Amino acid sequence: MPATQPTAAVPVVPLPPAAHHARLTSPTRLAALHATGLLDGTANPVLDRLARLTARLLGVPVALVSLVDDRGQHFPGMAGLTGWAGEGRGTPLSHSFCQHVVATDRMLLVENAAEHPLVMENLAFKELGVIAYAGVPLRTAEGETLGALCAIDVAPARWTPEQVATLEDLATAAMAEIELRATTQALLAAQTQLQAAHERLKAQAVRDGLTGLLNRRGFAEAARQQVAMAERAGVPFVVAALDLDGFKQINDTFGHDVGDEALVEMAVLLKETCRASDLVARLGGDEFVLLLTNTDASQVDAMRDRLATALAFHNADGLRDYVLATSVGFAAWTPGEPTSLPVLLKAADQAMYADKRARRAGGRDGEAGCDADVREAA
């Protein structure tokens, strides 16, 4: 490439290997580099356009916007590069002149790589045919050098002051796009974090903090949806009200921490006994409620037996000084005689207390079991 006003290449003194490595692996520099979101091997249209403009204005076959990390260089902006390096939009450091721009934080002008001691052994010269190279730093406002905007020729060249000035102006434009991209990435990350925090708060609003089950509000919202679906589909469901027998005695004897453990154990047992489509909630204290979807009154005995079996199995391990036992009442909703959810809950609650009275009268209060009355909502 002819040059109208030849200038000598800017001398760059190579750094000792340890210092070179330290510059490339600087945590703050790498953090700023990754914050751009431009290391994934995809093209950035603005940087591609600037690379094409660089090649055209400087009269070179190849121009690159090169971002250099601790393993290689990435080309989010590229013009004229072919072969494996172009297809992958990057190379390892073994094929990088731009690493020296980053390590020294200085412009690098190479007129003939075969005669330049800094790069004559670099594989970009030996394998990729890079002969002449002009690279200027891509530097953030905070002073971190992320890479280089470079012009490349496949024949020896002398770089003029006008070409260098043009390259520096284009590097400023490229850096503006890179920092805009980094700002956009930061805003997107903040938005994602805010959304995640919102989802956590939303979940906390409908979940019991101790057991992770639906709380009263969460159950009311989910149950309304289930009732609406049951009405549309014409399928029955059953509501069950439960409490933990002997819970006050557990608290008084062993302390509230153990009482909390008993509540968590009960919650786990109910989740494991119910189906994924069923709703399981803790309304407060030792009160639990279930909504058993696509279930009618004829299936209540089977549910009662599953729960009794689960309780017996849980208590059989003998690891605790107490046993889990529950009183339970059921209320069934049928499409032919639909009943509101509050009425169902009241009926199930009344059935639960009837079950508790029967257990006490029979001397079974606090035993592992869940004998229950089935009470149709009226």
- State the pLDDT at residue 365: 52
| Domain segments of the chain as ranges | 17-188, 216-374
Q: How confident is the model at residue 376 (pLDDT cuts 50, 70, 90)?
A: very low
Model confidence at 51: pLDDT above 70: yes
With a cut of 70, say whether residue 371 has pLDDT above it.
no
Q: What is the pLDDT of residue 4?
A: 40
CA-to-CA dists, residue 240 to 199, 359, 364, angstroms: 29, 17, 20
- Please identify, in words, the CATH class of the domain defined by 216-374: alpha beta
- Predicted local confidence at residue 129, as pLDDT: 95
Over the stretch 169-212, which tens digit does the pLDDT of each residue have?
999 999 999 999 988 888 888 888 888 887 777 777 899 999 99
Please give the pLDDT value at position 101: 97
Could you tell me the pTM of the whole model? 0.57
Please state, in angstroms and rounded to a whole number, the distance separating the CA atoms of residues 197 and 76.
Answer: 32
Residue written as tokens 């210092």? 19
pLDDT digits (tens, 9 = 90+) for 224-243: 999 999 999 999 999 999 99
Residue 12: predicted pLDDT: 67
Cβ-in-10-Å burial (0-12, 13-18, 19+) of 255 comes to exposed
What are the pLDDT digits (tens) for 281-295? 999 999 999 999 999
Q: State yes or no: pLDDT of 249 exceeds 50.
A: yes
Q: What pLDDT does 336 receive? A: 83
Burial class (CB in 10 A: 0-12, 13-18, 19+), 366: middle
In the prediction, which pLDDT does 316 show?
A: 92
pLDDT at 363: 63
Catalytic pick from 286, 349, 355, 373? 286
Token output for 66:
């090169």
Q: How would residue 364 be classed by pLDDT, with cut points 50, 70 and 90?
A: low
Query: Secondary structure of 208-221 in the HEC alphabet?
Result: CCCCCCECHHHHHH
* CATH H-level superfamily of 17-188: GAF domain (3.30.450.40)
pLDDT value, residue 337: 83
Task: Share the mean pLDDT of the chain.
Answer: 90
Whether 217 shows a pLDDT value over 50: the answer reads yes
One fold for 17-188 and 216-374: no
Instruction: Check if 317 is active-site.
Output: no
pLDDT in tens, 139-162: 999 999 999 999 999 999 999 999
% of the chain at pLDDT higher than 90: 81
Tell me the sheet residues that pair with 73: 68, 91
Q: End-to-end CA distance of the chain, in Å?
A: 96
What is the mean predicted confidence (pLDDT) over 27-42? Answer: 94
pLDDT at 69: 97
Strand, coil or helix: 293: strand
Q: What CA–CA distances, in Å, run from 253 to 317, 319, 321, 367?
A: 20, 16, 10, 17
In this structure, of 56-60, 64-68, 270-274, 372-376, the range with the lowest mean pLDDT score is: 372-376
